[in-house]
Amino acid sequence: MKPAWTARILTILPEIFPGPLGASLIGKALEQGVWTLDVMDIRDFAKDKHRSVDDTPAGGGPGMVMRADVIGPALDTAAAKMPDTPMVYLSPRGAPLTQEKAHALSAGPGVTLLCGRFEGLDQRVLEARDIEEISIGDFVLAGGEVAACALVEACVRLLPDVLGDAESLVSESFEQGLLEYPQYTRPREWEGRKIPDILLSGDHKKIAEWRHAQAEETTRERRPDLWDRQKKS
């Protein structure tokens, strides 16, 4: 049997996990062994009795920087456990996370995720090891842990048998290069607002056309960048 997809997370705050990754369908899949979570405490690789992992920035300036001689061995231990698995440093300086990236990672054996804290990581580690930098958006978090949860959740829900209805993946935002069409459910009327008639017509062809048109319009309005890319492809 193929080993389960594995998320290996390097952090100084192991108590954060599984956190949201232990809930609902993602958590059930974890319990059932569809994927596995291995959390490694970076402090176990510290060299002093205070278990320190950071030091002041070379050249001065505010905050602290994670030490290369602590992070390096932590990454090497993770890599030895699972060779040929991509290593990712969550970082606001990284390439933006996309649905395409989530698909690519979920199709592989898993991912090793390095969560930064403080001002981030000594640049030499990033140069010396084969590490990809990924950002979850143009804003700054206090640490990489929440970003790691977001990335793992995006990957795990794409694994076979995790979602109840695999169909629901097909029309989702980004899957066709478009944002999703709007969704409605009962009651038929709420605060004077009705569900669009077409959705109650039973005409599946018309419904599909309406949804596609809505998806296009929303994408054009809200995300001209996505819309331009969609037109080009």
Residues that bind ligand SAH (CB under 6 A): 90-93, 115-117, 119-120, 135-137, 139-141, 143-144, 147
| Phi, psi (degrees; rounded to nearest 5) at 215 | -60, -40
Q: Which is nearer to ligand SAH, 92 or 177 (CB)?
A: 92
Residue pair 111/86 in contact by the 8 Å Cβ criterion: yes
C-alpha closest to that of 70 among 8, 6, 12: 12
- Minimum Å distance from CB 54 to ligand SAH? 11
Residue number of the CB atom closest to ligand SAH: 116
Q: Which is nearer to ligand SAH, 18 or 94 (CB)?
A: 94
84: helix, strand or coil? coil
Q: Which is nearer to ligand SAH, 69 or 216 (CB)?
A: 69
Q: Which is nearer to ligand SAH, 119 or 180 (CB)?
A: 119
Tell me how many degrees the CA angle 102-88-47 measures, rounded to the nearest 5. 150
Q: Which is nearer to ligand SAH, 135 or 219 (CB)?
A: 135
Q: Which is nearer to ligand SAH, 117 or 157 (CB)?
A: 117
Q: How far apart are CA 34 and CA 167, in angstroms?
A: 19
- Minimum Å distance from CB 131 to ligand SAH? 12
- Minimum Å distance from CB 78 to ligand SAH? 16
- Minimum Å distance from CB 165 to ligand SAH? 30
Using CA atoms, how far residue 134 sits from 21, 87, 94, 147, in Å, is 19, 10, 4, 9
Residues 6 or more apart whose CB falls under 8 angstroms from that of 18 comprise 27, 30, 37
For 64, other C-beta atoms within 10 Å of its C-beta total: 15
- Minimum Å distance from CB 65 to ligand SAH? 9
Q: Count CA atoms closer than 13 A to 115's CA, side-chain side.
A: 27
- Minimum Å distance from CB 71 to ligand SAH? 11
